[in-house]
Amino acid sequence: MSHSHLVILTDLDGTLLDHRTYSWKPAAEALHECERRKVPVVFCTSKTRVEVEVLRRLIGNSHPFITENGGGVFIPHGYFPHRIENAVTVKTFHCLALARPYAEMCEALEEIAGESGAEVVGFHQMRVKEIAENSGLKPKDAELARLRDFDEPFFFAGTTPRAEQRFFELAQKRRLQVSRGGRFWHLHSGSDKGRAVRELLQHYRHGHNKIHAAGLGDSENDIPMLAAVDHAFLLAGPSGGHDPQVVARVPRITRVDAAGPSGWKEAVLSLLES
């Protein structure tokens, strides 16, 4: 673990990865530069552990990561010199599980849908082919997106505003969170990108307090993460504008005009220069 004082936390879809093609190639130069300067790049995403593991191998990233909108924090064994309390071992990682288990979310989704009269379709009700069609993922990647630990992505399949409202109210009553990602809604409990980021940053600060955290995101579900860092960057969305929810709720944010990995490269290189 280096004594570099900057930690970069980043969303993946629409941020480090292109919204449409899922490519990170335009950001390669900035990723190399982080590697060269020993600046950790921490993925903080709605993706699952297995999806992130594949990506980390492709990109050559060996740092901790946060999955399923803050449901789990995964820290490679031996990454920090100190003991990681309250973690369970998952393969070669210490896992801090911050959210309720996935099976509970699937059950809750069906019950709330039934009670509210809203028609929803969750990942656990879709075949791989349907997930691929709805997400733009290749079938083998859609397969990985189904292997979930904490949070259930879903969409409303035709419903009245009234039923939708009722859905949100019933979820809230059960103390479940509903958040909106780039393509799907997510039902989860206890996970929050901000809480996961704060939890992980404590480990980076263990032993030296001078850690500066930067965060990059593009949409509403990144707000808790962007609010938990010292320096937040908001990348443009696929259509060019900036998410108004994020602008309204994270006041001191730096807007980046480019979208996806090109915007990522621009923001990270300027950050490393400063």
Per-residue pLDDT tens over the stretch 221-266: 899 999 999 999 999 998 899 999 999 999 899 999 999 999 999 9
Give the pTM: 0.91
DSSP three-state, residue 220: helix
From the list 11, 13, 192, 222, the catalytic residue is 11
Pick the CATH number of 102-188 from 3.30.980.20, 1.10.287.610, 3.20.20.70, 1.25.40.10: 3.30.980.20
Domain ranges, ordered by start, for the chain: 6-99+191-273, 102-188
Determine the pLDDT at residue 190: 86
CA distance 116 to 112: 6
The tokens of 60 are what? 């050559």
Determine the pLDDT at residue 2: 43
Determine the pLDDT at residue 3: 41
CA distance 263 to 38: 21
Q: What is the mean pLDDT of residues 87-94?
A: 96
Homologous superfamily of 6-99+191-273: HAD superfamily/HAD-like (3.40.50.1000)
Least confident of 27-41, 118-132, 203-217: 203-217
Would you say residue 108 has pLDDT above 60?
Answer: yes
Determine the pLDDT at residue 1: 40
* CA-wise closest residue to 106 among 123, 130, 118: 123
Determine the pLDDT at residue 4: 54
Would you say residue 151 has pLDDT above 80?
Answer: yes
CA distance 19 to 117: 32
Indicate the average pLDDT of the chain.
94
Instruction: Please confirm, yes or no, whether 11 is among the known catalytic residues.
Output: yes
CA 37 to mean position of chain CA atoms: 24
